[in-house]
Structures are given as C-alpha cells and as structure tokens.
C-alpha cells in the first residue's frame, strides 16, 4: 500500500514539476521531462533526508511531497478548464531513434549489471542507504567506528535508495539497479533532446550513437556508483545554462541554481564542480545582479542542506583533513607526482575516453573560440581541481589514480560530448584535419 | 465486464491511432527485456557473495539490538578482510560493526585456514555455509 502511495507521489511530483517548468519557467518541449526527472530526484532526496532529520513519518512525508503538486495540477485545471499535461501524444518516427538508443543501452546495461553492483556500490552507497532505511538508528553511520565506510559522502543516492526501500518495506538490490538504469538512460536522452531543441538533429543522433557504443560509459553506469548521477547533474547544469542563454525567462536561472547546487549533494567531487561552476557563473554575469541573485537563491537550498550535513553530521574527509599541512608542500613540489598524474590522465583518455580526445582535437584543428566560454572555464577548473586533489592525496598516488581517474572523467564526459557537439553544429565549416 | 471491455477497446483504439507499429514494438521489447532482467536478478541463481553471507548471518540479526556495537575478526588475509568487513557491515546495519575488538565480536572464518582461538571469548552462536563459518563471540566475565 505504501509503495503504491509512493509511486503515486513520484508520478504527481513528475507531472507537477514538468507542468510548472512550462508554465513558470517557459521550458516547453520534451526537454522539460529530463529536467523534471532531475528535480524530482532532488526533491525526493532532500525530502527523505529532512524527514529523517526532523523524524517525520514516511506517510506524512509522502503526503507533504505529493499534496503540493496535486493542488498545483488541480489549480491549473481549474484555471484553464482543461488539464493538459502535454505528454507526447504521438510516439512516431521522430522519437524512434531515441527509443532504439534506450533499447540498445538497456540491452548493454543488462549485460553489465549484477546484484549490489561493484565495490563502492555495496561498500559505500548501498551501505549508507541501509542505515538511512532505519529512521531511528540512521545516525549510527556517523560514529567514528565506521570512518572507513566514508560517512562524510553526501547522501543523494543513499537517500533515494532508502526512500524506495521504505516504500517497499524491505531491502532489495533491485532498487539501486533501477535507479542506476534510469539515470544511465537519462543522460543520452537529455543530450539528444537538448541538441534537438537547438535544431541540431544530426548532432543529436550522433550523440545517441556515441553513448550506445561507449562500453566504459555503460559499464560505469552498471556499476551502480554515484558517478553517473554526478555526470547527469553536471550535464543538466550545462543544458540549463545553455537554455538560460536563449530563454528570456529568468526563472530558469533559479532552476539552474538548484541543479548546480544539488551536484554537491551527490559526491564530494560534485561540490568541487558546484564551486567552480558558481565561480565561473559569477565571473560571466557580474554585471547582471538580478541573474546572480536568482542563481544564488536557487543554489541556497542545496547549499544550506549540504553545509548542515557537512558541519553537523559528517565526520572529516580523509583527503582534506588529518593535520597534513606540513606534508603538502613536499607533495606539491614532487615532479614525479605530476608525471604520474599526466601518465594516468593520458592513458585513461586514450583507452576509455578517446571520443572526447577526438572532439578536443577537432576543436583545436578548427581553432574554435571556446576558451572564453563559461563551460570551458568551468570544466578546466574542475580538471585543475582534480589534479590538486591527486597531488595532495594521502593515499598511494598510483593506486588512487588507478582507482578513480576513469570515474572522474565520467563526471564531465556527457557534458563535454553535449557541449562539443553543440559547438560543432553551430560552426558549419568544420575540418576534420588541417 | 462491459466496462473492462470498453476500456480495453479504448486503449486498443488509442494505440492503433496514436502509436506507429515499429515504436510500439520497440517499447514492448524494451519492457520485456527490462522485466526479464529484473526477474533474473531476483532469482537465487543471481545471488552474489553478499547475499550468501546475508543468508548465513540471518540468525544472529534477531539476537543483536539495532544499536549494538560489535567487533569484527577474521582469519583471512588483509585484502579479503576488507571485503568481508564491508559486506558484514552492510548486512548488519544499522548495528555498528567495528574493525577491532569489543565485548561482542563477529568472527568470520575460512574453514580451510588456521582458526582463530581466543580463550577470553566464548561462542554464543555458530553457523556457516560451504565457503565461510561464523561465530558470534562474547567476552568471558
């Protein structure tokens, strides 16, 4: 019974959010569905976390999450005398490509996925979700004895898993699988719809092909880690940013702030992205205080939740804290560490992200003006941040790089594919060689 | 019955009018492979080590209060120790499994390796499967 109530809550949230994106933010067309999907994930995650924090019963929580969209939908129906959710009524040849891509991705995802996922999925994300499943004992995760399980990691994925487990009434590995599946599919669909919206049909089809043939992308998605969720939110941030550039509706900037800020609620790397994106956004819009105000207003909600979590609940992070100030200088001044980082970045780029390297080369050959753009600045700063984290890591550098570089590139990969294809489509005269 | 037939007829008319055949076939194929995969993942043959340890430790979950703090020991090498510790922590959560000794200890042993003997502890509950044995130990007074 509770599960059906939860499903109904999710559905009305999705319907209400997608309708409000059209009515209040002017985001019409099918792109509003992936944006609504991202916002529903954000609302459910914050809702469940705040429910734990304030000891709200699950039934009351679902009611408080589901009632506002029901009232909003009813209000819209009353206002227009006709409830038009404007879901796509005709699924014809125009959407066949995206349907086929979803099919191929699902077939390939099914090959890689297995119960409880890879190491981090059960040792971190599902483990945290298991604690959050128990509303009276969830704070046990923050005891010092469990420091090895990284209780300082943000809780978006664990809270989503725990919420659906609560709805079902039992713990099952199918919930993290379903979430990983949906998030994996959301990425190519978002890139496709965003490029289609910009009238770049060929680039949109090409993006589907890229994601369907990319084994690394599907493999990381199937591992059930939070990295694909970070990649989805990073991509969504840039998609919304591009939308704010062409849309006259400034409320979309508020949504951009929420989505960008929520990246920090997924992983600590998301926090780095949020900081550098916000910095870049401020640099590019410092002459528009109203725009900055809306962005900050949107980002404030996730920011307060993450800051409260980090300061009041989470223990210190193993990479940042630990009284290592004296070691840092010797670590940063060691040329071997730079060489090792360059080696791992290059090897991972060639073996797993050659498509991204190819796209970078096309940009360089064509001398495209990308340097003075916000996405270039943000992604470059993220990469600089990654290098600084590796330089100062207390772990064995070779092991740390080997265990994480591919996943760090995965965070920016869908956004990079989207941005490059958008840039190429805007520039009609592209040479593939000089 | 008439209502159901009317609804079905309406649904069929909707599908015939609004959906082209190929996309419909793709959607049905997608639904079928997704359902088949989820069914496969829920079968016992898809169980991984975590599920097997979960079944093995099912008996002691009821004996430990939710806010219990217990220690963890094993006779297995350090690399594998981490795997067993994290899997046991996930299974026993929200109970706190510490990676050192306490008054109550969960001992997981590989039966083919040298057993852990400690006269200061007595075994309260014992069990196992083909690959691993476990013993919930309490410190002697």
**pLDDT tens column, A111-145:** 999 999 999 999 999 999 999 999 999 999 998 88
User: What is the β-pairing status of strands B104-109 and B133-139?
Assistant: antiparallel
For residue B94, the chain A residues in CB contact (below 8 A) are 130-131, 133-134, 137-138, 140-141
Q: Which helix (DSSP H) or strand (DSSP E) does residue A229 occupy? A: helix A227-246
Q: Kindly list the residues of chain A whose beta carbon comes within 8 Å of any beta carbon in chain B.
A: 89-93, 95-96, 99-100, 102-103, 106-107, 110, 113-116, 122-123, 126-127, 130-131, 133-134, 136-138, 140-141, 143, 145-146, 148-149, 172-174, 177-178, 181
Separation between Cα atoms, residue A357 and residue A343, nearest integer Å: 15
If pLDDT is split at 50, 70 and 90, which confidence band does A274 have?
A: very high
Task: Classify A29 as helix, strand or coil.
Answer: coil
Predicted pLDDT at A434: 39
Flag whether residue B14 sits within 8 Å of chain A, measured between CB atoms.
Answer: no
Separation between Cα atoms, residue A318 and residue A81, nearest integer Å: 57
For residue A103, the chain B residues in CB contact (below 8 A) are 26, 29-30, 33
User: Is residue B126 within 8 Å of residue B133, measured between CB atoms?
Assistant: yes
Separation between Cα atoms, residue A121 and residue A352, nearest integer Å: 21
If pLDDT is split at 50, 70 and 90, which confidence band does B25 have?
A: confident
Separation between Cα atoms, residue A75 and residue A19, nearest integer Å: 12
pLDDT tens by residue, A79-117: 876 555 555 555 555 678 888 999 999 999 999 999 999
- CB neighbour list of residue A49: distance below 8 Å, 6 or more residues apart: A132, A155, A159, A305, A309
Q: Which of B13, B24, B41 to mutate to probe the A interface, most A CBs <10 Å? A: B41
Separation between Cα atoms, residue B106 and residue A103, nearest integer Å: 45
What is the ipTM score, two decimals?
0.85
Separation between Cα atoms, residue A214 and residue A219, nearest integer Å: 9
Separation between Cα atoms, residue A246 and residue B3, nearest integer Å: 49
Average pLDDT over residues A215-220: 94
Flag whether residue B103 sits within 8 Å of chain A, measured between CB atoms.
Answer: no
Of A132-146, A170-184, A366-380, B74-88, least confident by mean pLDDT is A366-380
Separation between Cα atoms, residue A314 and residue A305, nearest integer Å: 12
pLDDT over threshold 60, residue B117: yes
For residue B50, the chain A residues in CB contact (below 8 A) are 115-116, 122
Separation between Cα atoms, residue A374 and residue A352, nearest integer Å: 26
Predicted pLDDT at A432: 46
Out of B46, B87, B96, name the one closest to residue A145 (CB): B96
Flag whether residue B73 sits within 8 Å of chain A, measured between CB atoms.
Answer: no
Separation between Cα atoms, residue B75 and residue B109, nearest integer Å: 5
Among chain B residues, the shortest Cα distance to A139 is held by B94
Separation between Cα atoms, residue A97 and residue B35, nearest integer Å: 22
Q: What are the C-alpha distances in Å from A298 to residues A13, A212, B43, B72?
A: 19, 34, 44, 45
pLDDT tens by residue, B58-69: 888 888 889 889
pLDDT tens by residue, A375-397: 999 999 999 999 999 998 888 88
User: Is residue A128 within 8 Å of residue A153, measured between CB atoms?
Assistant: yes
For residue B69, the chain A residues in CB contact (below 8 A) are 143, 145
Q: What are the C-alpha distances in Å from A71 to residues A77, A178, A293?
A: 10, 29, 28
Structure tokens at A68: 């506002």
Q: What backbone torsions phi and psi does residue A327 show, to the nearest 5 degrees?
A: -75, -25
Q: Which helix (DSSP H) or strand (DSSP E) does residue A39 occupy? A: helix A32-53
Q: What backbone torsions phi and psi does residue A226 show, to the nearest 5 degrees?
A: -80, -5
pLDDT over threshold 60, residue B21: yes
Out of B23, B38, B90, name the one closest to residue A99 (CB): B23
In the block, tokens 């995206």 appear at A98
What does chain B come to in residues? 141
Among chain B residues, the shortest Cα distance to A130 is held by B93
For residue A165, the chain B residues in CB contact (below 8 A) are none
Separation between Cα atoms, residue A156 and residue A263, nearest integer Å: 9
Q: What are the C-alpha distances in Å from A397 to residues A197, A321, A406?
A: 43, 17, 15
pLDDT over threshold 80, residue B36: yes
pLDDT over threshold 70, residue B17: no
**Closest to A108 (Cα-Cα) out of A224, A219, A232:** A219
Predicted pLDDT at A322: 56
User: Is residue A155 within 8 Å of residue A137, measured between CB atoms?
Assistant: no
Predicted pLDDT at A279: 95
Which residue stretches of A95-199 are H helix? 96-112, 119-120, 126-132, 156-168, 174-197
Separation between Cα atoms, residue A182 and residue A184, nearest integer Å: 5
């Amino acid at each position: 019974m509770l599960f059906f109530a939860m499903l109904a809550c999710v559905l009305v949230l999705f319907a209400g959010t997608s309708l409000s994106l059209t009515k209040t933010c002017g985001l019409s067309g099918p792109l509003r569905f992936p944006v609504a999907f991202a916002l529903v994930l954000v609302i459910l995650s914050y809702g469940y976390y705040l429910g734990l924090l304030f000891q709200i019963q699950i039934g009351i929580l679902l009611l408080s999450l589901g009632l506002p969209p029901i009232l909003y939908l009813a209000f819209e129906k009353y206002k227009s005398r006709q409830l038009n959710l404007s879901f796509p009524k005709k699924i014809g040849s125009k959407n066949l490509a995206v349907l086929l891509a979803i099919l191929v991705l699902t077939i390939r995802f099914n090959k890689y996925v297995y119960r409880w996922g890879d190491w981090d999925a059960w040792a971190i994300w599902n483990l945290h979700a298991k604690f959050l499943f128990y509303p009276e004992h969830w704070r046990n995760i923050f005891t010092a004895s469990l420091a090895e399980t990284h209780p300082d990691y943000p809780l978006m994925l664990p809270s989503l898993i725990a919420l659906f487990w609560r709805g079902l009434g039992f713990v099952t590995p199918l919930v993290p699988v379903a979430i990983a599946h949906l998030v994996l599919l959301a990425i190519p669909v978002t890139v496709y719809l965003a490029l289609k919206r910009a009238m770049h049909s060929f680039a949109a089809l090409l993006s589907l092909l890229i994601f369907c043939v990319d084994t690394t992308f599907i493999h990381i998605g199937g591992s059930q880690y939070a990295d694909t969720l970070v990649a989805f939110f990073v991509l969504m941030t840039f998609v919304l940013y591009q939308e704010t550039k062409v849309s006259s509706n400034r409320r979309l900037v508020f949504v951009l702030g929420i989505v960008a800020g929520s990246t920090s609620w997924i992983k600590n790397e998301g926090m780095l992205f949020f900081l550098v994106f916000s910095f870049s956004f401020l640099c590019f819009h410092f002459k528009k205080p109203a725009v900055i105000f809306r962005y900050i207003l949107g980002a404030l909600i996730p920011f307060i939740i993450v800051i409260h979590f980090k300061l009041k609940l989470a223990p210190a992070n193993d990479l940042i804290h630990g009284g290592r100030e004296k070691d840092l200088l010797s670590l940063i001044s060691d040329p071997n560490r730079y060489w090792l980082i360059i080696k791992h970045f290059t090897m991972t780029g060639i073996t797993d992200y050659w498509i991204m390297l190819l796209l970078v080369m096309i940009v360089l050959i064509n001398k495209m003006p990308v340097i003075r753009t916000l996405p270039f600045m943000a992604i470059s700063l993220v990469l600089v941040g990654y290098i600084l984290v590796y330089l100062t890591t207390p772990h064995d550098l070779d092991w740390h790089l080997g265990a994480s570089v591919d996943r760090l590139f995965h965070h920016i990969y869908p956004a990079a594919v989207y941005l490059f294809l958008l840039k190429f489509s805007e520039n009609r005269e592209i040479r593939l060689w000089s | 019955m008439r209502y159901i037939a009317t609804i079905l007829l309406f649904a069929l008319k909707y599908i015939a009018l609004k959906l082209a055949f190929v996309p419909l076939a793709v959607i049905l194929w997608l639904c079928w492979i997704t359902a088949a995969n989820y069914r496969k993942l829920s079968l016992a043959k898809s169980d991984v080590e975590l599920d097997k340890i979960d079944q093995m430790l099912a008996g002691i979950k009821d004996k430990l209060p939710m806010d219990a703090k217990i220690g963890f020991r094993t006779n297995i090498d350090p690399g594998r120790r981490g795997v067993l510790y994290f899997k046991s922590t996930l299974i026993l959560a929200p109970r706190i499994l510490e990676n050192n000794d306490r008054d109550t200890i969960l001992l997981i042993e590989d039966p083919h390796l040298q057993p852990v003997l400690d006269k200061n502890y007595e075994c309260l509950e014992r069990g196992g499967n083909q690959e691993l044995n476990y013993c919930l130990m309490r410190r002697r007074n």
